[in-house]
Amino acid sequence: MAIAAPILEARDLTKRYAFGDTTVDALRGVSLTVQPGEFVALMGSSGSGKSTLLHILGGLDKPTSGEVVLGGETISGLGDDAATRLRRDRTGFVFQFFNLIPLLDAAENVGLPFTIAGQDPRNGEAADRIRDVFELVDLGGKEHHRPDQLSAGEQQRVAIARALVNRPSIVLADEPTGNLDFTTGGEILEALWRSCAKRGQTIVLVTHDAKAAAYADRVEVIQDGVIRDEIVLGRRDDHAAAPLIARLAQLGL
Amino acid sequence: MVNGLARFAWRSLRARPLRTALSIVGIALGVAVLFAALVTDAGIQAGVGRTVDDVMGRSDLRVGAFEEKGLSASSLSAIRSAPGVAIADPVLEQRTYLQRDALTTADSTAAAYAPPITVIGIDPTIDGTATGLHDLQLASGQGLSPTSTTDVLVPAGLARDLGLGAGDTLTILGLNGPVPYRVVGLLSGAGPDPTSEGRGVVVSLAASTALFGDRGATWVDVGLAAGATVDGVVVALEQRLTFEPFVLTDRADLAASLGASTAGFEALTALIAAVTLFGGAFLIFNTLSMTLSERVREIGLLRAAGTTRRQVHRLVLIQALILGVSGSILGLVLGLAMSVVIARTVGSLGDSGVPIDGPVVPPLGVALAALVGILVTLAAALEPAIQAGRISPIEALRPAHVRRHSLVSQLRWLAAVVVTVGVAGLALWPIALGPFGLGGGATGNAGIIRPLVVYAVLLVVTMLTPLILGPLGRLASLPFALFLPAEARLSRGSLARDRKRTALTVGALTIGLAMIVALGGLAGSAHAATDAWLTDVIPGDLVATSIRPIAAGEGVAQQLAAVPGVATVSPIARFAVAFRGVRVDAAAVAGSDLATDGRLTFVAGDRRAALTALDAGGSTIVPQAVADEFGLKVGDTLDLPVGGGEAVEERIVGIVARGLPGQSGESVLIGWSDATSHFGVLGADAFAIRFVPGRMAAAQAGLASAARGLALEPTPISGIASAINDAFGRLFSLFDALALLAVLIAGLGIVNTLTMNVYERVREIGILRAAGMTRRQVWRMVVVEAGTMGVAGALLGCLAGVILGFALGGVAGLGGPGSGPTIPWLTIVLAAAFGIGIAMLAAFQPARIASRISIVRAVQFE
């Protein structure tokens, strides 16, 4: 079987922060490959460097050394304008806190990438795509609700819809369930998984929660700025966390 | 605990140095304008006092002549022999011109309008002596010799302008042609008569009689004997002076009359100061509200740790006190500097009716300006303090959120600040100025009520702003939505986030722009009134003035009419009559000429019949202003004393919108036959000359030459108009500059509000950036936000300004007689552009901050 070209490749990434005389190495030589349509979880404890890695993979931040290649193009050295275009057209982000613009309704929030690009999200293909992602995240009928009229889970699903609406090469989710209860968190992960399973959306998820990581095809365990281990779970419908937890226990995590 | 709170308050202000500095500057500018207005007005009051001293010298009473022939020798003897009179000092004053080498009357600009000089004839044995009533302070040279008829004293300033020194010759146009005089001394200052604008030259009575023919004193100044009272001497003089009509003026009358002429200026400066301070209060309120919304959690923690509500109130009020005291101190310094500039500007206006030598710091003014600044700051802090006290300890546990305020609390706060500023201003202003107070006694109503109306308009507009913010914001963002739809949509949403904050920011801009537009309207009215006045009442394109009365029999009018291109020549004489014990300006005119030329706008009475009756005698036409002042209507009769205890009856046959300009108001019109037979008018002192249409340019040079040959000074109407408009222009530039400060304060408010808006949505901006918004788009979004506020402020400000212009119209004569409301379109366009420009400029720094926000840190920002 021919192996597809990776959609995302990180090569020997390091990230060093300087605080006066003190320096902190958040990443110390991380290499990673993500295949198209794959759901990868980056797992680790607080301060392990997983969020830093995610920010660099999505072009929000730059590595101190190493490079990131997305769809065959090196993105780690892009200037601000090029990085902005990249975020608008080729990546989608979901953050931990409910990152919606409170004064815009759900549909307007989802249509932000179109609005920013100067397109009218109420007409044409943009409107079709917005309708489509609303169905995908199971929020039909809530298009014109403002964020404060939605539950926490619904707000996060709107954020997912916004990340997906532009059909990006990759969606990067940073602890999207970190602020939610178990049931609501499950709905979010289901939505992400559906987009991966049904639409072939590539997803990189950062989490410290094994139950969330269990939705992924593959889990990369990060500790002290390096990838300590890789756990391959494969595509499963049941999302059972037990095998992953057992494996983590074996590793002493 | 207060010490601890003070430290906490101080550290809290220091944590946001830009915002704190902006607030201090805001209140400082408000206090500065207030203090500058106080210092300027005190300077004006001192100027009034000095002018009274200059005019009256050591005299207690002035007996003025009504008639051109002056006070007769019999009157002078009667005054001298009246009981209680120690010294009677006659003065003969006459306006004339200096000999000019070439008359450039073809030039219709203001430069061709040569200001006349005033020749003041004095008795050198009285004035300038130790026992005399007037001092003649010499800058150089010597005084007048009692016997010489060829010596002249010239004010040093005029001498400098003319390049003259002691020993040089000054040639003055006299009754019989130019007469050379020898300059024997230079007078320091403006000279003995401040009303001559530094152009009064002094000669002996004998010399002035030789120059202008044998006529009586223009006035006689009276020094009282020891133990005599002004009232007693007035009674004695009224009994003895029966030879010709006269008017008595004491020092208090003069001060009141001068005070009245400054009332409009003072009222307007007071109003601008109050409005500016109001803008400063907006800024303070916004600052404290922002600080509060930022620190909700912190205050919640303090409350959880046992801080009482009262202590929280105190914390906010201490912050306000720090801002108020710092702003007030800075404001006093700025205000003093500003008052120097104002005094110079007003001083350069010449005959503006506003006497000022320089700024005078009133003893209580410093304390009161600072006190008003601090009071306004504290008033602005009340609502934030109350809101802070209501924060519960539980707030410390909740995520940060925008606190919403009810409309009632917004309106309550606005009303509190407005009432505080208004009451403080009204109560403190007169105290700060001393004995004269706002607008003087005589015009107290015009001085206080109109500004109050203006204040009420501003209050209504600012209170309406929060209510109409939604539709107003949509309307204001339309121009931006055309070009930058995404930025316009997002920024409009941001402005709706905290409606109160936006409303206050827009409100501050609104009132600043409203003042500019209102002043523009007022200036426009003044210009229009000047032009309308001159063209409506003077039956000519040009006025040739004479230094002596020219009798009809001399044939001067006929000679002027014979100049090719001249269509009509109409004689005019200005004099005064006494009506109900008050001096009223009067003018002798030819009714038939006015009828033919189509001058005068009649508001009552039949035009043709009235002008015919005027020439027939026994009739008068009065201007609307005089009719209103005395409650007169067509058919009423004016009983005008003419000396010897007799009076002449003049029946009112018409009321006109505008009359001829007189010395202190508009003139009642009287026919030539009555003027000469009853009121001592000897002849015309001016001729209105109308050219044949289209031939003015060609005929002007010939007329100038003919006029000069007849010892007349020709001045085109356009020259007079541009000279008056120039003075108005400079006066209104000063007011505009003060009003611009209010807009500047509003600009600082916008910086504050936008910065706060940016800080409050750091995470949102991070999301937008993560979703693909470029730095430039973020920058534009914030600038569009400011621009939307600018357009909203401009829309409301221009509307309010037009309304204010109507309300302010004619404050103590600033608008000129008969001035109607004017919509100043050019000012509106310029003010709107300025307001929007300032708003967008104010966005520069906040937009920079917004565009530099790090996405990674923003999305982690709670």
* Each residue's pLDDT tens digit, B620-648: 999 888 888 888 989 999 888 776 667 88
* Distance separating alpha carbons of residues B135 and B115, to the nearest angstrom: 26
Q: Would you give the distance in Å from CA B614 to the centre of its chain?
A: 37
Q: Is the pLDDT of residue B815 over 50?
A: no
Provide the β-strand partners of residue B246: B65
| Closest by Cβ to A115, choosing from B489, B497, B769 | B489
How confident is the model at residue B104, as a pLDDT?
37
Which residues of A make CB contacts under 8 Å with B? 55, 58, 60-61, 80-81, 84-85, 87-89, 93, 95, 97, 99-104, 112-113, 115-118, 162, 174
Question: What ipTM score was computed for the predicted complex, to two decimals?
Answer: 0.81
* Distance separating alpha carbons of residues B524 and B815, to the nearest angstrom: 8
| Closest by Cβ to A117, choosing from B490, B768, B772 | B772
* Distance separating alpha carbons of residues B528 and A245, to the nearest angstrom: 90
Q: Is the pLDDT of residue B14 over 70?
A: yes
Strand, coil or helix: B87: strand
* Distance separating alpha carbons of residues B600 and B614, to the nearest angstrom: 13
Phi, psi of A178 (to 5 degrees): -60, -25
Mean pLDDT of the region B493-515: 81
Q: How far is B770 from chain A (nearest CA, A)?
A: 6
How confident is the model at residue A202, as a pLDDT?
93
- Compute the mean pLDDT over every residue in chain B, rounded to the nearest whole number: 78
Contacts of A16-22 spanning 24+ positions with Cβ under 8 A: A16/A64
Residue A222 counted as domain residue: yes
Q: Is the pLDDT of residue B444 over 50?
A: no
Residue A17 counted as domain residue: no
Mean pLDDT of the region B790-804: 89
Strand, coil or helix: B352: coil
User: Which positions in chain A touch B773 (Cβ < 8 Å)?
Assistant: 84, 88, 116
Strands B646-656 and B637-643: antiparallel
How confident is the model at residue B563, as a pLDDT?
87
**Nearest residue of B to residue A175 by CA position?**
B860
Do B489 and A95 make contact, defined as CB atoms within 8 angstroms?
Answer: no
How do residues B277-321 score in pLDDT, each as one tens digit? 777 777 777 777 777 777 777 777 777 777 788 888 888 888 889
Residue B362, CA atoms < 13 Å, CB-side half-sphere: 29
Cβ-count burial of A49 within 10 angstroms (0-12 exposed, 13-18 middle, 19+ buried)? buried
Count the neighbouring beta carbons within 10 Å of the beta carbon of residue B728: 22
Do A116 and B494 make contact, defined as CB atoms within 8 angstroms?
Answer: no
| pLDDT band (50, 70, 90) for residue B722 | confident
User: Which positions in chain B touch A104 (Cβ < 8 Å)?
Assistant: 490, 493
Mean pLDDT of the region B465-474: 84
Provide the β-strand partners of residue A39: A203
- Evaluate whether B679 touches B541 at the Cβ level (below 8 Å): no
Q: Which of B105-109, B159-163, B798-802 has the highest mean pLDDT?
A: B798-802
How do residues A34-48 score in pLDDT, each as one tens digit? 999 999 999 988 888
Q: Which of B125-129, B395-399, B411-415, B724-728 has the highest mean pLDDT?
A: B125-129
Q: How far is B832 from chain A (nearest CA, A)?
A: 29
Structure tokens that stand for B563 in this block: 């100049």
Strand, coil or helix: B309: helix
Q: How far is B761 from chain A (nearest CA, A)?
A: 9
| pLDDT band (50, 70, 90) for residue A13 | very high
- Evaluate whether B260 touches B355 at the Cβ level (below 8 Å): no
Q: How far is A52 from chain B (nearest CA, A)?
A: 9
* Distance separating alpha carbons of residues A165 and A136, to the nearest angstrom: 10
User: Which positions in chain B touch A99 (Cβ < 8 Å)?
Assistant: 763, 766-767, 770, 859
Cβ-count burial of B525 within 10 angstroms (0-12 exposed, 13-18 middle, 19+ buried)? buried
Do B856 and A87 make contact, defined as CB atoms within 8 angstroms?
Answer: no
The more confident residue out of B298 and B507 is: B507
Do B768 and A112 make contact, defined as CB atoms within 8 angstroms?
Answer: yes
Q: Give how far Cα B552 sits from Cα of A12, B560, B591, B611, B686, Å.
A: 112, 13, 15, 19, 12
User: Which positions in chain A touch B856 (Cβ < 8 Å)?
Assistant: 55, 60-61
Mean pLDDT of the region B605-612: 89
Q: Is the pLDDT of residue B532 over 80?
A: no
Mutate which: B404, B474, B490, B852, vs A, most A CBs within 10 A: B490
Mutate which: B482, B495, B498, B774, vs A, most A CBs within 10 A: B774
How many separate domains does chain A show? 1
Cβ-count burial of A173 within 10 angstroms (0-12 exposed, 13-18 middle, 19+ buried)? buried
Q: Tell me which of A65-74, A182-191, B9-18, B331-340 is least confident.
A: B9-18
* Distance separating alpha carbons of residues B1 and B473, to the nearest angstrom: 45
Q: Tell me which of A55-59, A103-107, B577-581, B690-694 is least confident.
A: B577-581
CATH (domain of A237): 3.40.50.300
How confident is the model at residue A36, as a pLDDT?
92
Do B772 and A87 make contact, defined as CB atoms within 8 angstroms?
Answer: yes
* Distance separating alpha carbons of residues B299 and B308, to the nearest angstrom: 10
Q: Is the pLDDT of residue B814 over 50?
A: no
Q: Is the pLDDT of residue B604 over 90?
A: no
Mean pLDDT of the region B331-342: 88
* Distance separating alpha carbons of residues B347 and B352, to the nearest angstrom: 9
How confident is the model at residue B522, as a pLDDT?
77
Strand, coil or helix: B391: coil
Q: How far is A96 from chain B (nearest CA, A)?
A: 8
Do B497 and A103 make contact, defined as CB atoms within 8 angstroms?
Answer: yes
- Evaluate whether B561 touches B692 at the Cβ level (below 8 Å): no
* Distance separating alpha carbons of residues B856 and B861, to the nearest angstrom: 9
Residue A188 counted as domain residue: yes
| Closest by Cβ to A84, choosing from B763, B774, B856 | B774
Residue A4 counted as domain residue: no
Cβ-count burial of B28 within 10 angstroms (0-12 exposed, 13-18 middle, 19+ buried)? buried
Label each residue of B280-304 as H, E or C.
HHHHHHHHHHHHHHHCHHHHHHHHH
Residue A9 counted as domain residue: no
User: Which positions in chain B touch A103 (Cβ < 8 Å)?
Assistant: 493-494, 496-497
How confident is the model at residue B579, as a pLDDT?
82
DSSP annotation of B435 = S
- Evaluate whether B45 touches B434 at the Cβ level (below 8 Å): yes
* Distance separating alpha carbons of residues A35 and A39, to the nearest angstrom: 9
Q: Is the pLDDT of residue B767 over 80?
A: yes
**Nearest residue of B to residue A62 by CA position?**
B856
Residue B378, CA atoms < 13 Å, CB-side half-sphere: 15
Count the neighbouring beta carbons within 10 Å of the beta carbon of residue B348: 11
Strand, coil or helix: B471: helix
Q: Where are the domains of chain B?
A: 1-57+260-442, 88-224, 458-535+720-862, 536-719
Do B855 and A117 make contact, defined as CB atoms within 8 angstroms?
Answer: no
How confident is the model at residue B416, as a pLDDT?
63
Mean pLDDT of the region B806-814: 55
Phi, psi of A238 (to 5 degrees): -85, -20
DSSP annotation of B633 = -
User: Which positions in chain B touch A101 (Cβ < 8 Å)?
Assistant: 490, 493, 764, 767-768
Q: Is the pLDDT of residue B735 over 90?
A: no
How do residues A201-244 score in pLDDT, each as one tens digit? 999 999 988 889 999 999 999 988 999 888 888 888 888 888 88
Do A104 and B493 make contact, defined as CB atoms within 8 angstroms?
Answer: yes
| Closest by Cβ to B856, choosing from A60, A102, A103 | A60
Q: DSSP letters along B791-821, please?
A: HHHHHHHHHHHHHHHHHHTTGGGTT-TTPPP
Residue A210 counted as domain residue: yes
User: Which positions in chain B touch A81 (Cβ < 8 Å)?
Assistant: 774
Sheet containing A39-43: order of strands = A91-94, A170-174, A202-207, A39-43, A218-223, A226-232
- Domain extent for A44: 36-61+80-250
Which residues of B make CB contacts under 8 Å with A? 485-486, 489-490, 493-494, 496-497, 763-764, 766-775, 777, 855-856, 859, 862
Q: How many CB pairs under 8 A join A and B?
A: 72
User: Which positions in chain B touch A97 (Cβ < 8 Å)?
Assistant: 763, 859, 862
